[in-house]
Amino acid sequence: MDRSYIPDATLGRLPRYYRFFCDLKEKKVSKISSTQLAEMLGTTPSQVRQDFSALGSFGQQGYGYNVAQMCHDLGQIIGVDNHYRAIIIGTGNLGRSVLSGIQFYNHGFRLIGIFDRKESLIGQVLKGMPIRHIDGLDEFCRENFPQMAILCTPPSEAIRLYDQLISLGVKAFWNFSGGEIPRRPGAVVNDINLNDSLTSLCYKMNIK
């Protein structure tokens, strides 16, 4: 299908739709109507129908959406079967909460390396693999070709690592550092900025 016609707003809702259908599949639900779905999502049936039609998936009149099929189709659009090779840098509380809370494989990634610079942590095993020293990052990348890096370091280190990793062929970044990493052609960045989220929550409380 031609994805250039999917509106940005629909794409923004895609991860949540995918999560809902996977949850429903796990709960052995086989079909769901746009009305039921809209109620669960806190939106309108027409929005649901419009979004899914833009994504190329249509429910059947009087039947609704086939849950397993939708889970599969949305997964295809997202590309969850690619299992992109990912590394994580920084194993403090933040890095560990990402490691323990996220099922990489279900979301399109495969973790292949864990790095830190703290000598005392090197060799410790997390998620079945040893923490490696950051000094071995270049060599590791040249041998294992990671495609995505999760940055759980302080901001200044993340900014430095970003350029280093781009030169080593890493194409995507999940940035938890709170630092602004400059956009580079060809690089994809998703920022998780907790400070900004807290600021926006404060604003929402303030205008109430």
Binding site for its own copies (CB under 8 A): 3, 11-12, 14-16, 18-19, 40, 42, 77-80, 82, 84, 92-94, 96-98, 100-104, 107-109, 147-148, 171-172, 174, 178, 180, 182-183, 186, 188, 190, 192-208
Considering beta carbons, is residue 30 or 199 the nearer one to its own copies?
A: 199
Compute the least distance from the CB of residue 170 to its own copies, in Å. 11
Compute the least distance from the CB of residue 163 to its own copies, in Å. 16
Compute the least distance from the CB of residue 149 to its own copies, in Å. 11
Q: Which long-range contacts (CB under 8 A, 24 or more apart) does 12-15 make?
A: 13/51, 14/55, 14/74, 14/77, 14/78, 15/78
CA nearest neighbour of 188 among 155, 164, 162: 162
Sheet of 125-126: strand order equals 125-126, 129-133, 109-116, 84-89, 148-151, 172-175, 188-191
Compute the least distance from the CB of residue 92 to its own copies, in Å. 7
**Helical packing angle, 8-26 and 34-41, nearest 10°:** 100
Considering beta carbons, is residue 167 or 199 the nearer one to its own copies?
A: 199
Give CA–CA dist 123/129, Å, rounded.
8
Considering beta carbons, is residue 74 or 134 the nearer one to its own copies?
A: 74
Farthest CA pair distance, the chain: 62
Considering beta carbons, is residue 28 or 60 the nearer one to its own copies?
A: 28
Compute the least distance from the CB of residue 100 to its own copies, in Å. 6
Considering beta carbons, is residue 16 or 142 the nearer one to its own copies?
A: 16
